[in-house]
Amino acid sequence: MRKHWLDNLRWVVVLSVLFYHVIYFYNNKGVFGGIGGFGGNQYQDIVMYVLYPWFMMLMFLIAGISARYSLEKLSSKQFIKSRTRKLLVPATLGLFILHWITGFFNTQGASLTMGNPMLPEEMPVFIKYFIWSVSGIGPLWFIQDLWLFSILIVLIRKIDKKDILWKACEKIQIIPIILLGVLLYVGSFTLILYPRAESFDGLLNLYKPLNYLIPFLMGYFVFSHDKVQEKLGKYSPILISIAIVCGTILTITTFGQDNTLPQYLQSPLNIIYTWFMMLGLLGIFQRFCNKTNAFATYMTKSSFGLYIVHYVVIASFGYMLKVHTSLPVFAIYAILTLAVFVLSPLIYELLRRIPFVRWCIFGIKK
């Protein structure tokens, strides 16, 4: 029986990513990327403090649960083939079909920040195109990580052929579940505190492979169990209440800081907020959102595609609104929000109907 609550939670988190990127694109808190803010305190940046700690962690945990369910139906070979088509192909070939546009506007924004062109004007266009494509990865780092984790889980299954570890996690109680949050704290120490500018340290801090592997594995081994999900549903009001209190304190006491720095992410309060929010949302959706309708069914099928294309809208419209208009700040945010929530589905629906293009961008065969 399909778990509609898990589908619903996934697309709700994806929509939160879309809105997060609207705010992130214009942040003035020192967070890497985007095109810079408008000055002042920018209290709208609170959205970043509320969402960033947990939403990607939760996406990887959901992905771990989904991987477990998929491997109950598919052989390891079928699973790897499916994940390669759906994840690795869009994160490589898709860059050269669509995401070079993101890369183009990324370099334009960087040139604006630096005060001079990032790419020399005399550079051949085909070389620029390659650079734009590679720098257009944007949010696709998520599916690149996820492909690697999918390969790893197949290897783990070959070692643990009798599913001993998964079965051992079935009867875990609520207190040990809560204490599993310590693993997120341990994982945060895999981040590089002082990345060297001349190295790949910054890239590792973006991908956070060891950090994000932890919620993926917990999703696969622990949270894929019905009994565990039911426990979270039972205690969900308490869990989400704790999360709201911790998140409020965290936001008030740290507003103005770069909330993506390793030092910030390692703070105990950040970890507590992250973990209780993840547990609380899993429980709330398991208890109250296990149903569907036409809109939810559509979002279940299309949320992956929306995630793939949305940053092209953010980067292009976001850049043009700030650089080429003199609109009020509120209008810029409103127009960009409307654009990403309206144009992303339209672009997805258009591209998924074009043979070969849909395979490159979304991993869709038919």
pLDDT in tens, 17-48: 999 999 999 999 989 888 999 989 999 999 99
CA dist., res. 333 & res. 209, Å (int): 32
Average pLDDT over the chain, rounded to whole? 96
User: Above 80 in pLDDT, residue 288?
Assistant: yes
Residue 121 has pLDDT above 90, yes or no: no
d(CA 335, CA 322): 11
232 C-beta neighbours (distance < 10 Å), count: 22
Whole-number Å distance between alpha carbons of 121 and 128: 10
pLDDT at 115 over 90: no
* pLDDT of 324 above 90: yes
Cα–Cα distance measured from residue 261 to residue 193, given in angstroms and rounded to the nearest whole number: 8
The domains of the chain are located at 4-362
Residue-wise pLDDT for 185-227, tens only, equals: 999 999 999 888 778 888 899 999 999 999 999 999 999 999 9
- Strands (DSSP E) contained in the chain are none
Are 260 and 55 spatial neighbours (Cβ–Cβ below 8 Å)?
no
- In this prediction, residue 289 carries a pLDDT of 97
If DSSP codes are grouped into helix, strand and coil, which group holds residue 223?
Answer: coil
pTM of the model: 0.97
pLDDT at residue 118 tops 90: no
Residue 232 has pLDDT above 90, yes or no: yes
pLDDT in the model for residue 196: 87
Q: Are 190 and 211 in contact (CB under 8 A)?
A: yes
**Mean pLDDT in residue range 298-326:** 97
From CA 41, how far away is CA 29, in angstroms rounded? Answer: 9
